[in-house]
Amino acid sequence: MNTGLKITAFAAAVAATFGTTYAVGASVDTVGKPVAHTEDHGERRAKQEKRGADGDHTPGGLQIVADGYALDLRTPRAEAGDRTDLRFRILKSDSGRPVTQYTRDHGKELHLIVASRDLTTYRHLHPVRAADGTWSVPATLPEAGDYRVFADFRPERAKEKVTLGADLAVTGAYAPAPTLAPSSTTKVAGGYEVRLDGALTPGEPGELTLRVTRRGKPVTDLQPYLGAYGHLVALRSGDLAYLHVHPNGEPGDATTEPGPEVSFTATAPSAGTYRLFLDFRHEGKVRTAPFTLRVGAGGGAADGQGHGH
């Protein structure tokens, strides 16, 4: 059938894309989404070398005040296992006035990510905004510990998205999880298997592809979730720097298939270990598949792809 053929052709194209890391970098120019650099490959590479693997740009989520905005978390404490209302405001940092006008991104004015510092608990929430600018959303965090709250939004007149982060303490007996262990490239989430393909090079946009199957069968009827067939959040282990990730293609653009592959372009600001959380929607339910990805210096491909260290 035509659809089957198309999917096979797409899978072949994806496989070809990951032949070498150079090809991954080069392929970014063809995805048709705005990426940070428009120079030719050589120039871009030179610039990256100059910028270094550490990067001059501060990644999102590390600051409570940045780009003219402040995150005012009114509920910096919660009780483990209890349903709490998380409340916060986004303030103009100069005037202290709450922001009440936003530009929607992925269908929402603001995305709230809550993650434990040990990266074992993850929530992707969509708070409700009151007229005075106060956002609120109920959340139940099962484990005590230090958490980070990320507000990802775009104020109405801002040119770019802003991601601010604040600490949240969840009280109770705290037993931090051990350092992130290498995870398999295939994860099981709610009866689905999700496989991660691709690698990232520090400072360079790279493509990551997630393939969703159920009991070994490709899922070809994923449902749009936040304007895409998947939503990927990536956090750096150690400081929880928040990466910008763009889905490649969107539902209804005539080329993007509703699975089994969902592809993203992401830039890791440095070498290190990253935790990736993929949200996808199927049969009306959103599921989350977490992965651990090593980037740079000996990391290369995702964990489990033939690297024993």
Residues that bind Cu ion (CB under 5 A): 111
**Position with the least CB separation from Cu ion:** 111
**Shortest CB 105 distance to Cu ion, Å:** 9
Of 111 and 246, CB closest to Cu ion: 111
Report, in Å, the least distance between residue 5 CB and Cu ion: 34
Q: Which is nearer to Cu ion, 114 or 268 (CB)?
A: 114
* The amino acid at 120: T
Three-state secondary-structure class, residue 215: coil
Q: How far is the CB of 291 from Cu ion (least distance, A)?
A: 19
Q: Cα–Cα distance between 99 and 278 in angstroms, integer?
A: 29
| Tokens encoding 126 | 């969509």
Task: Give the nearest distance from C-beta 52 to Cu ion in angstroms.
Answer: 32
Residue 22 C-beta: closest distance to Cu ion, Å: 33
Q: Answer yes or no: are the C-beta atoms of 248 and 31 closer than 8 Å.
A: yes
Q: Which amino acid is at 216?
A: G
What is the DSSP code string of 72-141? EES--EEETTSEEEEEEEEEETTT-PBP--B--BTTBSEEEEEEETTS--EEEE--EE-TTSEEEEEEE-
Cα 298 to Cα 272: distance, rounded to the nearest angstrom: 10
Q: Whose Cβ is closer to Cu ion: residue 99's or residue 232's?
A: 232
Closer CB to Cu ion, 24 or 113, in the complex: 113
Q: Cβ closer to Cu ion: 73 or 271?
A: 73
